[in-house]
Chain A
Amino acid sequence: MIGLWARYYRAQIKLSLAVQFQYRVAMAIWMLDIVLSPMIYLVVWTTVAQSSGGTVNGFTPSDFAAYYTVLMIVQHITQIWHMWEYEYLIREGGMAQRLLRPLHPINEDISQNISYKILMLMVLIPAVLLFVLLFRPAFHTPLWSALAFIPAVLMGAALAFVIGWTLAMAAFWTTRIVAINSLYFTAMLFFAGYLAPLDLLPRFMQMIAGVLPFRWMMSFPVELALGRVAPEAVLGGFAAQALWIVFGVLVLRRVWKAAVRRFSSVGG
């Protein structure tokens, strides 16, 4: 059984890669997408640090460089875009085609997600080198923390996928998904540690970030990679990630069932 699934995933990833290879110009644009916003935030924060005596709340320009270099990697690994595609899929009949297959449509999205991330490593690796050369990041990460980064970023990716995919289901009920998605990504900007490291946010914002899922998608793995998580807080972080994933999967299953029921009653 596992063999059959593995073969399906291999075939689907191979096909998705073949499709994505067709879009070489788009790849150049996606590269800008990956590099540009971390670079802008990094330049802004470096300028702020330099103009306020060399640090902001203990962050030096090299710390910011390290932060946004890792954030760029984490953002790539945890990225999800399926919420932008479902309206089109439903309207143009792609959803009907997917439902005719003896396979849950989420499998196709997972495969596409993985294949895109594999493909874009070709862009990400030079981008990281560029950051290292240009901004000279400083890392003070103990080995255990660097190792903990790996499961944390994978769990972050799983969490981002589960929540993002559930959000994509909104397209079954409304055609105005842009507003919903914008709200989601704005919340992410603040609470995932995108706009600024969460340590720099006011206390109450940090508390809100702790109870929302966004920190556990992105900021937590980044903090581990930089050695900014106290050893006693690590398990709690993983537990928060796991809880959010379990909760997300439960919600996803219910929402998917309702979405199919909705699709089947109104037609696609």
Chain B
Amino acid sequence: MSASKSAVVIQNLRKTYQVHEREAGLGAALRSLVSRKSRDVKAVDSISFSVDMGEMVGFLGPNGAGKTTTLKMLSGLLYPTSGEARVLGYVPSRRERAFLSQMTLVMGQRNQLVWDIPAIDSFELNREVYRVPVAQYKQTLDELVELLDLGKLLTKPVRNLSLGERMKCEIAGALLHRPRVLFLDEPTIGLDVTMQRRIRLFVAEYNRRYGATVLLTSHYMADVEALCKRVVVIHHGSILFDGDLTALVERFSPHKTIHVKLADENQDFGAYGEVISREEGQVVLRVPKADTARVTGQLLANMEIHDLTVEDTPIDEVIEQVFAQPKEGRA
């Protein structure tokens, strides 16, 4: 991959925080006045990956894995302890105007719109902050209003909007300057299913229309499945996996599940595979992928079966398995 094709390049990026520690109680509080104990916490531990121009990548990891720290380093809010990050060729921590004008960081739990006044007033200010020409601003605003169905929301004070409505306005406000790189940190957090879907469709359309690069973190696998072919999984500050979503499933879940409906559930299935559940005439078996065809054949031949379905392990479960990996056990 050539550097010019990459929108984001990270090499051996590392971020260590110094955390002060003390035990509970007054005695410990007094002791800490004299000598403060601190230890280094590696939030991000020497990670490397790159994202192509126009690519949408899911950046996954459990809470505290280092996702937000990485996104903050990429958007210039945090200096890396060591290593290098480049976004559109810029070093983010220098916070150059040209860099800041071409990227955006949307954090699902943070607000940039002014609470007491309608969103459109904050948008107008953003136009001046980012120096967007009037014609381009109007065009982008019209598109965003249409894509996100903002309509009447823009003229209501932000404090009177619902969480979902506010998030739509936040996203519109963050994109008025048509950034080429989007860092989206849990953009759908706390939203209902319909609103999540709407935002997902919007991100996909924005990417298609402007060729924008997207690095997305989300706890909702539906977001990632819908938007990202590729995922980077970070855990305990290190990269655990970087590749296609399908390859992630292959690697961390080499099983399929077989759902069998039958008249008599009290039969012994131990010989066919691992029984995951057994209730009301339905048995769920987990079998190695390579054995699926053979086991299915045997079940159909040997038992009286009403119905049989074979499924991949749901992506949520796969991710759960990945996140459950102990620190030493990483690949």
- Assess whether B93 is interfacial by the CB under 8 Å rule: yes
Binds A, one of B118-126, B198-206, B228-236, B319-327: B118-126
Interface positions, chain A 211-268, Cβ under 8 Å from B, are 260-261, 263-268
- Assess whether A96 is interfacial by the CB under 8 Å rule: yes
The reply to whether A18 and B72 contact each other, CB–CB distance below 8 Å, is no
Binds B, one of A99-107, A122-130, A151-159, A165-173: A99-107
The reply to whether B100 and A22 contact each other, CB–CB distance below 8 Å, is no
The reply to whether A267 and B100 contact each other, CB–CB distance below 8 Å, is no
Interface positions, chain A 1-34, Cβ under 8 Å from B, are 4, 7-8, 10-12, 15, 18-19, 22
- Assess whether A93 is interfacial by the CB under 8 Å rule: yes
The reply to whether B117 and A15 contact each other, CB–CB distance below 8 Å, is yes
Partner pick for A266 among B17, B114, B121, CB 8 A cutoff: B17
CB contacts (< 8 Å) of A96 on chain B: these are: 72, 77, 110
- Assess whether A97 is interfacial by the CB under 8 Å rule: yes
Chain A residue nearest to B127 (CB atoms) is A11
The minimal Cβ–Cβ distance linking B257 to chain A, given in whole angstroms, is 41
- Size bracket of the A interface: 20 to 34
The minimal Cβ–Cβ distance linking B82 to chain A, given in whole angstroms, is 12
Interface positions, chain B 104-150, Cβ under 8 Å from A, are 104-105, 107, 110-112, 114, 116-117, 121-122, 124-125, 127-131
The reply to whether A22 and B125 contact each other, CB–CB distance below 8 Å, is no
Size of B's binding interface in residues, CB under 8 A: 32
The reply to whether A102 and B130 contact each other, CB–CB distance below 8 Å, is yes
The reply to whether B17 and A101 contact each other, CB–CB distance below 8 Å, is no
CB contacts (< 8 Å) of A8 on chain B: these are: 128-129
Partner pick for A100 among B18, B100, B122, CB 8 A cutoff: B100
Chain A residue nearest to B109 (CB atoms) is A93
Partner pick for A22 among B18, B93, B116, CB 8 A cutoff: B116
**Would A264 and B116 be within 8 Å (CB), given that A15-B122, A100-B100, A101-B129 are in contact?**
no
The reply to whether B116 and A11 contact each other, CB–CB distance below 8 Å, is no
Chain B residue nearest to A263 (CB atoms) is B77
The minimal Cβ–Cβ distance linking A138 to chain B, given in whole angstroms, is 44
CB contacts (< 8 Å) of B75 on chain A: these are: 100
- Assess whether B69 is interfacial by the CB under 8 Å rule: yes
The reply to whether B100 and A264 contact each other, CB–CB distance below 8 Å, is no
A4 and B122 alpha carbons, distance in the complex (Å): 17
A100 and B95 alpha carbons, distance in the complex (Å): 8
A11 and B123 alpha carbons, distance in the complex (Å): 10
CB contacts (< 8 Å) of B116 on chain A: these are: 18-19, 22
A265 and B112 alpha carbons, distance in the complex (Å): 22
The reply to whether B78 and A264 contact each other, CB–CB distance below 8 Å, is yes
Chain B residue nearest to A266 (CB atoms) is B17
The reply to whether B72 and A267 contact each other, CB–CB distance below 8 Å, is yes
A268 and B110 alpha carbons, distance in the complex (Å): 12
The minimal Cβ–Cβ distance linking A256 to chain B, given in whole angstroms, is 12
The reply to whether A264 and B110 contact each other, CB–CB distance below 8 Å, is no
The reply to whether A12 and B117 contact each other, CB–CB distance below 8 Å, is no
CB contacts (< 8 Å) of B125 on chain A: these are: 11-12, 15
The minimal Cβ–Cβ distance linking B252 to chain A, given in whole angstroms, is 30
The minimal Cβ–Cβ distance linking A205 to chain B, given in whole angstroms, is 35
